[in-house]
Amino acid sequence: MSDLKRTALYDLHVSLGAKMVPFAGYEMPVQYAAGVMKEHLHTRNAAGLFDVSHMGQVVLRAKSGKIEDAALALETLVPVSILALAEGRQRYALFTNEGGGIMDDLMVANRGDHLFLVVNAACKEADIAHLRSQLCDTCDVTPITDRALIALQGPEAEAALATLVPEVAEMKFMDVATHHWDGVDLWISRSGYTGEDGYEISLPAADVSRFSEALLALDVVEPIGLGARDALRLEAGLCLYGSDLDATTSPVEGALEWAIQKVRRRGGAREGGFPGAERILDELENGAPRRRVGLLPEGRAPMRAGTGIFAGDVKIGEVTSGAFGPTLQAPMSMGYIDTAHAATGTVLEGEVRGKRMPLTVADMPFRPSNYKR
């Protein structure tokens, strides 16, 4: 008897011919009949529909009822300015630990009278326990268990979703809003995990199948599995928690300084005050000994996670994610190397099956992102 969970779209995935695999405790579609390559390119050229209902959805509400109090409470757990997050806007954030490592990365939205958090599937139980234990005096932490989450991504995402919900055309990147379709409340953000324009949509689990079917009835929309999702996010230079980020890796090592606003840095009005601040603030000023970088191997063969990276005879790092990029028509990787070798254009070597092969440090994203600013 399998103890894997199923999302509300499980039956639809099976009816569409999905190959289901275990992922973060769920049975999830890794690909459909078209295959990973075609699904990837369809998302880049039209619109792809993803089931991301395995992710954690959490409402954080201050006991005082004031959104400012919820924001300040959350700032004790993340090195990000939540207080400055305007109503109807969303921001990327990081839970850090006392050692300055990353416990999870997440999205935080200001929905007027509460904060709405989307956390990673494999971390959601630990994240909820962390929030409750640290903020129990000031906030109510409510996991949302009766709503599904889907993502519509690609250059045709706006036109496709607007046929059902016309108001979404007015949204900009990282806007959040509640819209309605056929009597259903849709919590929509204009964001995603592919480097394309698109939306993430939280809606009642009881309604997600018919809403998804309405989208899939459109010529430009196809279902997309986890295989294409992974290559899409890697082309976009985006991290996968547990692979590219973990509890020992700092935001600076992870090249995520952009997520830490000046107000939380040294000299800022709300400097520090988050777990691991001593290490993180020091690395923001002085750098970290290693760095997450993009890597482009020569030839056609990908260098995958675990591949050792060498400068001469010295191992200086390791690949954390690697795949063939269908849009790039070339292999791509990201990984951590000693900062001394992290300059763009530096030629290093990756060891594949005992043989050293050239790879070059490259800027990310590997292809330009297409967000609607």
In sequence order, what DSSP letters do the residues of 35-98 get, joined into one string?
Answer: -HHHHHHHHHHSEEEEE-TTSEEEEEEETTS-HHHHHHHHHTT-SS--TT--TTBEEEEEEE-T
Q: What is the pLDDT of residue 164?
A: 98
Going residue by residue through the chain (373 aa), what tens digit of pLDDT does each one get?
A: 479 999 999 999 999 999 999 999 999 999 999 999 999 999 999 999 999 999 999 999 999 999 999 999 999 999 999 999 999 999 999 999 999 999 999 999 999 999 999 999 999 999 999 999 999 999 999 999 999 999 999 999 999 999 999 999 999 999 999 999 999 999 999 999 999 999 999 999 999 999 999 999 999 999 999 999 999 999 999 999 999 999 999 999 999 999 999 999 999 999 999 999 999 999 999 999 999 999 999 999 999 999 999 999 999 999 999 999 999 999 999 999 999 999 999 999 999 999 999 999 999 999 999 999 8
Q: Are residues 278 and 294 in the same domain?
A: no
Secondary structure (3-state) at 113: coil
Residues 6+ apart with CB under 8 A from 272: 264, 266, 278, 281
Q: Are residues 196 and 168 in the same domain?
A: yes
Residues 6+ apart with CB under 8 A from 234: 321, 322, 323, 325, 332, 334, 366
Q: Are residues 21 and 158 in the same domain?
A: yes
Does an H or E element contain 166, and which?
none
Total count of domains within the chain:
2
- Count of helix runs (H) and strand runs (E) in the chain: 8, 20
Q: One-letter amino acid identity for 274?
A: F
**Could you read off the pLDDT of 149-199 as tens digits, one per residue?**
999 999 999 999 999 999 999 999 999 999 999 999 999 999 999 999 999
Q: Are residues 263 and 348 in the same domain?
A: no
Q: Are residues 146 and 253 in the same domain?
A: yes
Quote the domain boundaries for residue 293. 289-373
Q: Are residues 310 and 233 in the same domain?
A: no
Rg, Å, the chain Cα set: 21
Sign of CA dihedral 338, 343, 346, 351: positive
Secondary structure (3-state) at 314: strand
Q: Are residues 284 and 162 in the same domain?
A: yes
For residue 195, what is the domain's CATH number? 3.30.1360.120
CA atoms of 73 and 91, how far apart (whole Å): 16
Which of 288, 310, 332 represents a domain boundary (last residue)? 288
Which of 236, 254, 288 represents a domain boundary (last residue)? 288
- Edge to edge, what strands does the sheet with 184-189 contain? 176-181, 184-189, 198-204, 147-153, 47-51, 221-223
Q: One-letter amino acid identity for 135?
A: L
Q: Are residues 280 and 353 in the same domain?
A: no
Task: Assess whether the previous peptide bond of 143 is cis (omega < 30° from 0).
Answer: no
For residue 296, what is the domain's CATH number? 2.40.30.110
Residues 6+ apart with CB under 8 A from 283: 100, 250, 252, 253
Q: Are residues 262 and 297 in the same domain?
A: no
Which of 288, 318, 345 represents a domain boundary (last residue)? 288
Nearest to 323 by CA among 302, 344, 340, 343: 302
Q: Are residues 263 and 367 in the same domain?
A: no
Q: One-letter amino acid identity for 317?
A: G
Q: Are residues 300 and 270 in the same domain?
A: no
Q: Are residues 229 and 360 in the same domain?
A: no
Q: How far apart are the first and last CA of the chain?
A: 48
